[in-house]
Amino acid sequence: MDLKNKRVLVVGLGKSGIAAAIFLRKQGARVTVSDTRSAAALAKEIPALLEAGIMVESGGHGLLTFRRQDLIVVSPGVPLETPEVKQVISFGVPVIGELELASRFLKGRVVAITGSNGKTTTTTLIGKIFAEGGLQALVGGNIGTPVIDLIPESTNETVSVLEVSSFQLETIAEFRPWIALVLNITPDHLDRHGSFENYAAAKTRITENQQPEDFLILNAEDKPTQMVAAKTKAQIYWFSSRRPIKQGAFVYGESIVFIPREGGKTEPIMPVAEIPLKGSHNVENVLAAVCAARLAGVPAEKIRASVASFKAVEHRLELVRELAGVEYYNDSKATNVDATIKAVEAFPGGIHLILGGKDKGSDYTVLSPLLRERVKAVYTIGSAAEKIGRELHGVVKMVEAGTMDVAVHEARKAAVPGDVVLLAPACSSFDQFQNYEHRGRVFRQIVHELS
């Protein structure tokens, strides 16, 4: 991909947008960046961009800026329905995302992981297994490090393990993973995608460029994920925590096993009891990782050792502390209803649940049966609090906390020894916090300050 002297516009100055802009400039492109935030809000970013020779448009998008480009790179947070983006697409201007741009230059092979929940844990775990199994693994994508920042380290021998979101997959064109994983597809980001069907279609794009020599790993117990099998040319491997399957990883008795091909010999991998993570959903994450690792040639004993020593990902059912017999767990990354269900299912009962944030078009009523069974009280925060209170009225005791500080302190007063205070908000964080990491850090700080 020759970018020298090409006019390229980067839309959105998040972490991946800035990385893309600087990379494009180094490739000799004439780069402009455009963001709806004001110059004052971008005061930290603008000086470095200008110094690199990048033009900056802030405070809104100018249609002429968009039309004067040879290529447009949109950040994941910028919807394709943005009027200026939509119009230039109709004019035939190529529009791609940072993932697609990076994939044109990234060397070596790619393992890509998507799903509504479990992406970060599974991506981190696969990266650990690969590295400890003797592979040259790079880890990035939606997990934090922009894919474009992996390019300098990549070689023909590296394997890039990438967490990829529906937002990133919307804007691919040629992106082709050697191994693709779809962990699950449950309603999320409906405010962005408009419908569950559109959201599922974006997830499915992970396999659209795969070929018969590639591999696709799917969840045998998730119906929307099963549907992806009909849309691939790749070799399909399955994982299941409930039943034996013909090709892939599954739980057999008290152990995880792997079958390398239909009719092949069953390989023992490890006892389920050695998985150090809470929740049945994490068994599924391990099964998916086992599939990827065995397909990449990592021996079973290396997989077992890596999984057994794996620690919970930050903000994912992370034990913050125990105080007066009450455990406090941070699952700030539970940004949709299904993730909250999985978090609540990890505990038998006695839960004080902190819910709320920015609503994503979710249906909170599906939480009702589980709340009745395991939750003592719900403490609502953020802009979604009113909707959550309305949809869960009468199901469980509701406390309108409003803020994280009030929620934690109210839960602390109500909890008794043996109870759990759980932050699993089922919402995005952008009403009161910078991101889910910021929300989790605030929760941790408040909990650590409890006397």
- Read off the pLDDT of residues 253-311 as tens digits, 9 standing for 90 and up: 999 999 999 889 999 999 999 999 888 889 999 999 999 999 999 999 999 999 999 98
* Model confidence at 186: pLDDT above 90: no
Residue 217 pLDDT exceeds 80: yes
How far is Cα 309 from Cα 276, in angstroms, rounded to an integer?
7
Does 371 have pLDDT greater than 80? yes
pLDDT of the residue at 76: 87
pLDDT score recorded for residue 220 = 97
- Tokens at 424, concatenated: 């699993």
Give yes or no for a contact between 4 and 31, defined as CB atoms under 8 angstroms apart.
no
pLDDT at residue 70, as a whole number: 96
The pLDDT of residue 144: 81
Q: How far is CA 341 from the centre of its chain?
A: 17
The per-residue pLDDT for 374 is 97
Identify which has the larger pLDDT, 14 or 404. 404
**Lateral strand order in the sheet of 326-330:** 318-323, 326-330, 420-423, 351-356, 375-381, 397-402
Q: Which domains does the chain have, with CATH numbers?
A: 7-93 (3.40.50.720), 100-308 (3.40.1190.10), 318-449 (3.90.190.20)
The continuous run of DSSP H or E covering 449 comes out as: helix 436-449
The whole-angstrom distance between residue 280's C-alpha and the CA centroid of its chain comes to: 18
* Mean pLDDT for the stretch of residues 149-170: 96
Residue with token string 């009161």: 432
pLDDT of residue 279: 84
Burial tier of 169 (Cβ tally within 10 Å: 0-12, 13-18, 19+): buried
pLDDT above 90 as % of the chain: 88
Task: Give the other-Cβ count within 10 Å of 55's Cβ.
Answer: 14
Instruction: Let me know: does 88 contact 66? Beta carbons within 8 Å.
Output: yes
DSSP state of 149: G
Read off the pLDDT band of 1 (50, 70, 90): confident
The whole-angstrom separation of Cα 360 and Cα 411 is 25
pLDDT at 403 over 90: yes
Write down the pLDDT at residue 352.
Answer: 98
Residue 211 carries which DSSP code?
Answer: -
CA 392 to CA 365: how far, in whole Å? 6
Task: Output the pLDDT for position 314.
Answer: 85
Mean pLDDT of the chain: 95
User: Bridge partners of 259?
Assistant: 248
CB distance 176 to 209 below 8 Å: yes
- pLDDT higher for 275 or 193? 275
pLDDT of residue 260: 95
Contacts of 213 (CB under 8 A, 6+ apart): 235
Q: What is the pLDDT of residue 36?
A: 93
- For the segment 153-169, the average pLDDT, to the nearest whole number, is 97
pLDDT confidence band for 150 (50 / 70 / 90): very high
pLDDT at 194: 79
- Residue 187 pLDDT more than 90? no
Residue 401 CB contacts under 8 Å (≥ 6 apart), including other chains: 354, 379, 380, 381, 385, 407, 410
C-alpha 413/C-alpha 431 separation (Å) is: 26
Reduce the DSSP state of residue 51 to 3 states and report it.
Answer: helix
Instruction: Summarize the confidence of residues 426-440 as an average pLDDT.
Output: 93
Q: What is the distance between the alpha carbons of residues 382 and 430, in angstroms, rounded to a whole number?
A: 9
Has residue 35 got a pLDDT over 80?
yes
Asked whether 237 and 225 are in contact (CB, 8 A), the reply is no
Predicted pLDDT at 94: 95
Is a pLDDT exceeding 90 seen at residue 375? yes
The residue-averaged pLDDT of 214-235 equals 96
Instruction: Give percent of the chain above pLDDT 70.
Output: 100
Q: Is 23 exposed, middle or buried (0-12, 13-18, 19+ CB in 10 A)?
A: buried
Does 316 have pLDDT greater than 90? no
Residue 451 has pLDDT above 90, yes or no: no
DSSP 352: E
- Residue-wise pLDDT for 57-89, tens only, equals 999 998 889 988 999 999 988 889 899 999 999
pTM: 0.83
Task: State how beta strands 71-74 and 55-57 pair.
Answer: unpaired
Query: Which whole-number Å values give the CA distances from 38 to 58, 81, 127, in the listed order?
Result: 5, 21, 38
Q: Is the pLDDT of residue 192 over 80?
A: no
Count CB-CB contacts under 10 A for residue 449.
9
